[in-house]
Structure 1
Amino acid sequence: MTPNHSPPPQTKRVQSLRFRMLVGSLMWIVVSVAVAGWALQQLFVQHASQQFRNEMDLHLNQLTGAFSVEDDEPVLVVPLSDPRLDQPLSGLYWQVDVVDASGQIKQAGVLRSRSLWDQVLPAGPEREDGKRDTLYSYDSPTLETLDVLSRRIQLTDEDEAHQNWRLMVAADQGLLNEPLAHFTTMLSVALGALALGMGVASIALIAGGLRPLARLRQKLALVRKGTASQLEGEFPSEVQPLVDEFNAVLTTNTEIVQRARTQAGNLAHAIKTPLSILENAAHNDSGALGALVSEQVAIARRQIDYHLARARAAAAMQASGLHTPVEPVVAAMVRTMQRLYMERKLDIHAQVSPPDLSFKGEEQDLHEMLGNLIDNACKWATTQVRIQARADGQCVVFLVEDDGPGLSAEESIAAFKRGVRLDSQTPGSGLGLHIVAEMAELYQGSIQAERSELGGLKMALRLPGVV
């Protein structure tokens, strides 16, 4: 017989607190570092671009100050200071054009830097806002992409009233882009290392912050196993109130169970006393009335034992910290049965593996269940009874086998019904196996009747264990 236990409803697995905290912190680190990197890169671009423009303004101002016309020929009074202007295709250039009053080129490149070699800078658009300087870009097939800053000036001459000139300074955009690319690379490496360090620090902080919860889980496991009755140890101030409340619940629960067991025991004692009186009186009466009273007293005693066992099992399932070593109980049962069936010379063999195996419940209940199974096996055995107890996951499995006649499939089912006796010639009330099944069900366990390798019956009792 296997009790019908419906499995608990499967609830959706919730992500762990550690996982959520870690994901949240890592997302914040990534976003913060990305925003900081973008802001720093933009600031550097603005700074480098402004510095690049200021450098071009400086060169154009130097060119303007050094430019002059002598004997109707444009000349530079002094050479410009930057040595790159004398290096061919260095990326920094200047040029002077002759233009008319409307800005149209009359003669391009009347003067130009040695760095231009044989190249000529094209004229750009004229400004319409009245300012004299114009900045534009020029894609040269030989000089790459240039930023050109031009200025139109007029010089007073004794022979002619005005002469228009366009002065130009050009710089390769690579002079700006290369430092920007280098800075971006270095910034990415630095921020990546920073993000990695912050991530490792977050993992360490989260692991350290949640460590008290791991300790709390270990303490709860000790309570569940029965090796501790309270949660012991020091915890952080955020967790300590929870520990105190849980300990208070454990204390209250233990007191309630103890009172219930005491009341049940008192009630049983109060009832058994008058039953003993009736039983003694019935023994003195050899008539039909005495036999009837004796029979009813025996039934009443069995009912009391049955309901007390149910009450103990129900209370034990509500209590925490209960555990009963299996090996001493099995050994006591074997000694009892060997004395009880001494005249039959039964070979009763028992094995408990591992030796420290424990049942999560009351010792008296384990005596009750094993006692019924082993006594039943001894009644029906021919020569041999075998008892095994072993761990199976978080459960304890008891196998009680005999070499008797065994039971059919229908009899195996009927054997667990209340008051059913498969052989009226064998002593008993028919309540033993039913009590075992009821108590196993209360402990959320099960019992099954199978065919034994010895030829008789094998009872498989599964009960919760202490892991």
Structure 2
Amino acid sequence: MTSSKQWHHSLKTRFVVSGLLLIMVLLPAIGFTVNKAFERQIALSIENQLNAYMYSVLAVAEVDNGDINMPPHLVENQFNVIGSGLYALISDQHNKTVWSSGSFFGLNTPTLRQPLVGQSQFYRVKIDKIKHVVFSFTVSFSHQKQLIPLTLHIIKDESDYQTQADEFNHTLWVWIGILMLVLIIIQVVWLAWTLKPLRQFSHEITLVEQGKLAELSQSYPNELSILAKQLNTLLHTEKQQRNRYRNALSDLAHSLKTPLAVIKSQPQLTQDSHEQLDHINHIIGYQLKKAQSVAGNAWHLGINVDETAAKLIRTLTKIYHSSHKDIDYQQTLYQDQAAIFKGDSADLSEMMGNLLDNACKAAKHQVLLTLETTASELIISVEDDGPGLTAAQQALIFERGARADTYQQGHGIGLAIVSDLVNSYQGKLIVSDSAQLKGAKFSLIFAR
């Protein structure tokens, strides 16, 4: 399984991703909402301000003989200063400008709206490419029993308000960014504190796997202390059972060996009887070794395969030195991680030793031991340049009691031991032809 598929299996990754998503989505959403609310508040403030200007202009407006009369200077001085940014215009029912404040001198009149009498409109226009806000209000003046509708337009440059909005927007997002950074730091600290018991739990599990720790400590939060207690109970129970089995089988082996020794010492026994007694002795030793195997305890043991392989190669090289048989050793390790066998050292030595010994017996000159690890598997292969095994022999070789006479000494009980030990570790033993040495190839495959 690739790392891209494994990320969602990590609690830490899930916490980090969910926390970051919450921060990266929620805070900008809050900032956007606050910014929009501020803009609406500014717009409302502008509208109220222009509305106040409108009443101050209406208060001095008069209609005489159908013409609008305005004083030369208005109370609000900005209406009197050319280009001040605050303007007042009055248009008739045909939307023709009939009066404008002194501040509007020299500017082009934009297209202005005409609300119904008694109604107002707030909108934006551009005057000489500059954005302005407009408050238009239509009133009717009475003249000679006639109602004359006039629309008063209060126009103000929007730049002042835009500057205010930009400053607020900048300040808002600066604080949003600071808050995001603070929350991320808080999340990292909180995550480290929250996951500390899990890291300790994982570390202790690793120590138990490596045989460096007999049991888990009890210094965990309530949710984990229950699990630690249950695991410790399981470890103690399993250890007691293994000790009982080992003691019972040891007693059985000793009780059988003495009568067998007495029988074997009888002078009248034939050579065939001696061979059968030796065979029984061998079977007792094999069954005792198989039953005493700590494969059930494999999850909390870890053996470096490379070290075991080196020891076996040194031993067998000395044994077969006179036969001029060489043992080559190759490794292909996943991410340069040490090849660890989750089981008992004696079991690993038994399996590898039997396969290497058989290969040395069958080989003409060359034996190859290959150690390979993948993301999920440990693969140990032994090849030789001997005559190999036929398809029929490969099918027969692991049947209980069967014997393949390819080697001078045969596979015999040795391969049966290997097969049973491999099965006890839920592994696989595969027999095939060696593509490299053209002899037999035996592969042990275990989960990492």
**2:319 equivalent to 1:325:** no
Shift of 1:125: 5.5
TM-score, normalization by structure 1: 0.70
Q: Structure 1 residues 193, 433: closer, same or farther in 2, change over 3 A?
A: same
Residue identity in the other structure for 2:356: I
Change (3 A) 1:380 1:113: closer
Kept after mapping to 2: 8 A contact 1:272/1:301? no
Alignment pair present for 1:364 and 2:364: no
Quote the offset at 1:277 in angstroms. Answer: 1.3
**What is the root-mean-square deviation in Å for CA atoms of aligned residues?**
4.9
Contact 1:136 / 1:147 at 8 angstroms: preserved in 2? yes
- Does the aligned pair in 2 maintain the 1:313–1:442 contact within 8 Å? no
1:416 is aligned to 2:394:
no
Aligned to 2:386: 404
Matched, 1:47 2:45: yes
CA distance in 1, matches of 2:126, 2:164: 28
Checking the alignment, whether the CA contact within 8 Å between 1:223 and 1:230 is kept in structure 2 is no
1:305 maps to a residue whose letter is: Y
| Whole-Å separation in 2 of the counterparts to 1:360 and 1:267 | 26
Aligned match of 1:347: 325
Aligned pair in 2 of structure 1 residues 277, 153: CA closer, same or farther (>3 Å)?
same
CA change 1:346–1:269 in 2 (3 A) is farther
TM-superposition CA deviations, 1:91-121 (whole Å, max 9, x none): 5236699xxxxxx99xx96x875557799x9
2:178 counterpart letter in structure 1? G
Residue type of the alignment partner of 1:33? G
Percent sequence identity is 19
Q: Pick from 77, 87, 93 the counterpart of residue 88 of structure 2.
A: 93
Show the counterpart of 2:444: 461
- Corresponding position: 1:255 with 2:236: yes
Tell me if the contact between 1:60 and 1:169 (Cα under 8 Å) persists in the aligned partners: no
**1:189 to partner: Cα distance:** 3.9
* Compared CA separation, residues 25 and 250, structure 1 to 2 (3 A): same
Which position in structure 2 is the counterpart of 1:147? 136
Q: Pick which of 182-191 and 445-454 moved more.
A: 182-191
Secondary structure at the counterpart of residue 368 of structure 1: helix
Q: In the TM superposition, what is the alpha-carbon distance from 1:51 to its structure 2 partner?
A: 1.7
Matching residue within 248, 265, 268 for 2:249: 268
Cα 1:193–1:76 change in 2 (3 A) is: closer
Cα distance, 1:408–1:52 mapped onto 2, change above 3 Å: same
Unmatched segments (≥5 aa) in structure 2 = none
Normalising by structure 2, what TM-score?
Answer: 0.72
Q: Which whole-Å CA distance do the structure 2 matches of 1:311 and 1:44 have between them?
A: 84
For each residue in 1:305-352, what CA deviation from the matched residue of structure 2 results, as whole angstroms up to 9, or x when unmatched?
Answer: 3464366243123x42x122334433443455456667x534343537
* 1:266 to partner: Cα distance: 0.7
5 Å matches for 1:205-354?
205-212=186-193, 213=195, 216-217=198-199, 220=202, 223-224=205-206, 226=210, 228-229=212-213, 240-242=221-223, 244-287=225-268, 292=273, 295=276, 298-299=279-280, 301-302=282-283, 305-306=286-287, 308-309=289-290, 312-317=293-298, 319-320=299-300, 322-334=301-313, 336-337=315-316, 345-349=323-327, 351=329, 353=331
Listed one character per residue, the Cα deviations across residues 221-251 of structure 1 (whole Å, up to 9, x for unaligned) are 674462753899999xxx7445544543443
Residues 430 and 443 in structure 2, CA contact (< 8 A), matched pair in contact too: yes
Paired residue for 1:22?
20
Report deviation, 1:363: 0.8
1:108-157 Cα shifts (integer Å, max 9, x gaps) = 96x875557799x9998555xxxxxx756899999996624647489xxx
Equivalent pairs, count: 420
Give the letter for the 1:259 counterpart. Answer: Q
1:364 CA displacement: 1.1
| Counterpart in the other structure of 1:35 | 33
Residues in 1 aligned to 2:169 and 2:313: alpha-carbon distance in whole angstroms = 77
Output the CA distance in 2 between the equivalents of 1:223 and 1:268: 30
Residues 174-230 of structure 1: per-residue CA shift (max 9 Å, x gap): x17555555544444444444433333333333332235378458626744627538
- The code of the aligned residue for 1:29 comes to L
Max Rg structure:
1
Q: Say whether 1:446 aligns with 2:441.
A: no
Aligned position for 1:79: 73
1:39 to partner: Cα distance: 2.6
Q: 1:15-61 CA deviation, whole Å, 9 max, x = no partner?
A: 82322233234333233223323332222222221122112223333
Specify which of 403, 406, 415 is matched with residue 433 of structure 1.
Answer: 415
Q: Distance in 2 between matches of 1:435 and 1:148?
A: 103
Q: Give distance in 2, aligned partners of 1:138 and 1:42.
A: 13
